[in-house]
Amino acid sequence: MQQHDITRHLATPLMNPAFPPVIPRFTDREYLNIVYRTDRDALRAVVPEPLEIDEPLVRFEVMRMGDVTGYGPYTEAGQAIEVRYDGERGEYLHAMYLDSFPATASGREASAYPKVAGSPALYVDHGALVGVLDHGSVRVATATMGYKHHELDPEEAAAQITVPTFMLKLVPGFDGTAQTAQLVRTEISDVVVKGAWRGPARLQLFEHVLAPLADLPVREIVSASHILTDLTLAPVRPVHDYLAR
């Protein structure tokens, strides 16, 4: 293979890349969102500058992907923290756990999503929408919501999931020092809300050293939503360079 051919490839392994060269379209993406109040000091310890915190609010989410271009179905769970950057309100993606290696590799390498392996699930059980997250054989989160108790306005549902999203892009060099250290921004586009509901909810987070969701403890449930949608993820763009002199 000649040198100019190598740069046409997206990822390694060279002849069998970990993820496909596609811009994925998500069809029948189903959310369970629970927004809760946590400790302000706990957020200050994990939210990177120059992001700012107003209210100490966290959104725990479980997302079941019905079909994704290039990846197929998979499930994802994580935490997003409400923040503000340069006057714009959004969310900082703190942690994401997936049961799909290609989606995990693509999210981290081609973008900046903080994705690692996990075992999330989203299902209905005796009148409750249930979202769980396991790390190996250990349960680290259990979320329950009343199943389709009240309809949610589609515009409000779309607004919940299309807020600007901020993430850290960290790439080490071969000597262990940072080669890339950027705060990046993205958002969801081309949204079609197929159904949306709100209702009562509960959330339990359990201590685990390798999945420390409970470091942002649940103090008060603020709101909960159940959303079914089609959408596309926009490319990320850097908004702050930590290595700039």
- In this predicted model, what pLDDT tens digit does every residue of 48-101 receive, in sequence order? 999 999 999 999 999 999 999 999 999 999 999 999 999 999 999 999 999 999
Phi, psi of 96 (to 5 degrees): -140, 135
Half-sphere exposure of 204 (CA within 13 A, CB side): 8
Peptide bond into 50 cis (omega under 30): yes
Q: From the candidates 115, 148, 169, 194, give the one annotated as an active-site residue.
A: 115
CA angle 61, 67, 71 (to 5 degrees): 95
Q: Is 144 left (phi over 0), alpha (psi -120 to 50) or beta?
A: beta
CA-nearest of 164, 20, 28 to 88 is: 164
Phi, psi of 34 (to 5 degrees): -125, 115
Q: Known catalytic residue: 115?
A: yes
Identify the helix (H) or strand (E) that includes residue 193.
strand 188-198
Distance, CA of 130 to CA of 147 (rounded, Å): 9
pLDDT at 62: 98
pLDDT at 20: 87
Q: Do the Cβ atoms of 188 and 231 come closer than 8 Å?
A: yes
Distance, CA of 241 to CA of 185 (rounded, Å): 12
pLDDT at 3: 86
Identify the helix (H) or strand (E) that includes residue 233.
strand 220-233
Distance, CA of 81 to CA of 38 (rounded, Å): 10
CA angle 189, 192, 156 (to 5 degrees): 85
Q: In the chain, what's the furthest Cα-to-Cα distance?
A: 60
Q: In a 10 Å sphere around its CB, with 0-12 CB exposed, 13-18 middle and 19+ buried, how is residue 11 labelled? A: middle
CA-nearest of 93, 84, 128 to 216 is: 93
pLDDT at 99: 98
Q: Quickly tell me which residue has 């969310």 as its tokens.
A: 91
- Residue 128, token pair as written in the block: 């409750």
pLDDT at 7: 82
Identify the helix (H) or strand (E) that includes residue 181.
strand 178-186
Distance, CA of 24 to CA of 19 (rounded, Å): 11
pLDDT at 15: 84
pLDDT at 23: 87
- Which parts of the chain have pLDDT scores under 50? none
